[in-house]
Chain A
């Protein structure tokens, strides 16, 4: 029996080695051997999906109607409804309450003073956990004031505090739907995949058409982007509520609604808060893109500073986004782990029972009144602001002037030895052969379902005429993921072995993930010029985080008794790592790589800004030409590449887990 399996394994291995060698030969010679249509899909075979989508969009915007009102009136109505809370938050935090419109508007009530916002946020920190957290978030907001980012940060914050509740509530409701009705979950899962993988640029234009210009459209795009993890986590968290708890609910005679809202949702809260945290982080990721369509705030500052090549100012505004993200993240995490409320003595008066709430109100009103006469209380005085912008500029200049030649040598070596050969290989393969290999691999790893899926999805890419661009996408993304894994997995191992180092690495990757990539894209271009190499560096920096995180997590959660067993049987440290820890953590590491691929693909649209020629560029061109169909087709192609990779790796991880006898997730 085992011998038969071993034989089959070697047979498949032999097949793959043979196929690989044949592919190399084929890639080099296909142009000469095969008819032209096999290497280059003819344009006249294209199916005009782009035009169909564009026409459909025009119909939707201009003629679609429900009888009583048109489709556009419906979406505009939604936009109008969303505008109220957003306008309120903006008034409260940044512009003040206004009477009238435009430049005729008169301020009737000033916004919260900076001191008031600071005190409230510190109070929330103390309420959520302790003084340490309070001091930390206080310092974060202090940075915003001292570095002159306050006004923009408040604009960004006001859109976040409205977007996040909508994203969370929407995600929760859809998630509950998916939990209750299995058919709904099946229907919603592919939609979620698309929402997470179709680049935002691709649906920005339709959103603008339907919801009009301004912050609301930006908010809706942000919700579309940030909601999917909340839906997924809700479904997962509800399923993981122990059966005893829901049984108890039934026994207590709960109605269906009571069971959901009074029993299941509260017991799933810790899981749900992870989703909230994801919504916050992803919303802040969108800040730059949202600012392109009218959200303003910090994202706009980053964009304009970098357009005038003011790297330092761009970095400071970018750090402000990071600081905001980290402060909100730590607060939301603290709320998850908050101890249950203690019993409060009812004989105390309102002031004694709610000391923080009362203090905050007092500070808000007090500083508001003082602020009317003393400007420094209303807004942080400009004279006390500091900036380090020139330092960063000088730093980049120094590196540029002194180390350019060395950097250039590294770049040329990587370019000639890795990037160019991989690109030639992928572009040289006939499309039919590539699809065949991918499908075979999918079939071997995950069975006929995944094989069928990859035929259909890659077929879509071919018939819409996107194949060469898709291959450039795969090449750029593949090489970047490889480097990200080579850097990220060792970092993850290091983080898992040493707690203090782990914290440092954690902070580093948190920063990398929330810092808008535009901030480091421009210095990278200055040092490495426009081209694929710069794009690759930007993708690696952005996509590194999950490789590190999942590796650390995978090694951290290995059953200690297994490691014990390794130590007892006399493993050296090295053997322990290679023979025990890494194999056991493999499924997690694979999931980390999977996430790295997703992030790398989502970054391609940004790297289009430094002149790559892949699907990301196609999406970007479509955006600047306001061509809905072209953008969506290219966006879908990116999503399909992501989905094929995701399904295959997930199936592989499942197999690995089964082989190792580890529990399912």
Chain B
């Protein structure tokens, strides 16, 4: 045995030992290559991903976090450059996800346990000006109260970026709402307007989603539209307007986990753990508030959860 290969063996041994020490009982058969989890730019997703990452680390896996765009990441998931994406929202990411899973190179690993809520939302102080809320039928009586100089006498509704879809223009038309739908370009712009209006107690009606810090920071309510059903979106006859679809509220849907198709073969245990991962909306909302509003460090919040929920995540990694 040459000295070089002896050093190599020693190194391999050391690495394996280190892995054992860190992980308790690492599964020897699985690859020690890093599993790459994608990070996006909103706090909830960072928390979900770091939770999963920490759990996998404790299961003896090698983890790497990679910064990637929410939609653009599918290119990487298909080729295996990236391995796991922890939050694909039914409401905003469905199309991209379907397109990717259709190729067979990306697989859906099931729900995260969190439910996305998206709906028209107003701050609570608007209830004084418009007592009929949250019933959607009150919206037309208060159109003037929700108006701005450019839209008066019609009300103004600030929708999400065009890319989020959501059928708000169609909804306003189908329900015959006297509102102009204006689209924000990003959610930063969306909540900047909310913050500005809230500081002045000025009228605002906009698209808010949860889990997010905004419903925790600002007191307000969602508008009560006729509940969503699949027929409402497809069948014009359904609902109050016989000629148009979309005369109801927005669907609420799960937040999905997806991975590169090769994950199951390369890291079977990790695949199982990711499939098993769930957290609830409330848990997530609390953690988001801790980070975004109370200014705690994200990593501290994540390790606090890991400490408190050891039993739960132990079952995910099967130990």
Residues in A lying within 8 Å of B, measured CB to CB: 100-104, 106, 204-205, 208-209, 212-214, 291-296, 300, 303-304, 306-309, 397, 400-401, 404, 408, 412, 415, 518, 521-523, 525-527, 529-531, 607-613, 617, 620-621, 623-626
Contact = CB atoms under 8 A, between A and B. Distances in A.
Among all A-B residue pairs, the 4 with the closest Cβ atoms: A102-B34, A102-B64, A526-B196, A609-B185
7 contacts: A294-B66, A295-B67, A397-B199, A530-B158, A617-B185, A621-B163, A624-B70
B149 interface: yes
Interface string B177-210: 0000011111111111101100110100000000
Contacts of B81: 212-214
Nearest to B182: A530
B76 A208 contact: yes
Interface of B: 15, 18-19, 22, 32-36, 41-43, 53, 57, 62-64, 66-76, 79, 81-82, 95-96, 148-150, 158, 161-163, 182-193, 195-196, 199-200, 202, 213, 292
A473 B178 CA distance: 29
A213 B34 CA distance: 15
B72 A529 contact: no
B79 A308 contact: no
Contacts of A527: 196
B42 A611 contact: no
Given A104-B19, A294-B68, A621-B163, A304 B41 contact: yes
B62 A611 contact: no
B34 A103 contact: yes
Given A404-B200, A408-B149, A610-B186, A106 B72 contact: no
Given A612-B185, A617-B185, A625-B71, A526 B96 contact: no
Contact of A103 (B62, B75, B182, B292): B62
Nearest to B42: A307
Given A529-B148, A621-B162, A626-B74, A522 B188 contact: yes
A104 B32 CA distance: 9
A101 B64 CA distance: 8
A665 to B, nearest CB: 39
Contact of A308 (B53, B71, B189, B292): B292
A341 B161 CA distance: 58
A472 to B, nearest CB: 14
B48 to A, nearest CB: 15
B184 A610 contact: yes
A293 B53 CA distance: 20
A521 B192 CA distance: 10
A604 B33 CA distance: 42
B195 A101 contact: no
A307 B70 CA distance: 14
Contacts of A300: 41, 67
B158 A309 contact: no
Contact of A209 (B15, B75, B190): B75
B213 to A, nearest CB: 7
Contacts of B200: 400-401, 404
A213 B73 contact: yes
Nearest to A293: B69
A530 B163 contact: no
Contact of B192 (A205, A209, A412, A525): A525
B186 A609 contact: yes
Contacts of B53: 103
Contacts of B213: 308
Contacts of B195: 309, 526
Contacts of A415: 150
Given A400-B196, A626-B72, A104 B185 contact: no
A401 B195 CA distance: 11
Given A208-B76, A530-B190, 11 more contacts: A103-B63, A104-B19, A106-B18, A208-B75, A212-B81, A213-B75, A608-B185, A613-B183, A626-B71, A626-B75, A626-B96
Nearest to B22: A104
Contact of A102 (B35, B70, B79, B158): B35
A292 B68 CA distance: 7
A623 B57 CA distance: 33
Nearest to A307: B188
Given A611-B183, A617-B162, A626-B96, A101 B33 contact: yes
A221 to B, nearest CB: 12
A401 B200 CA distance: 6
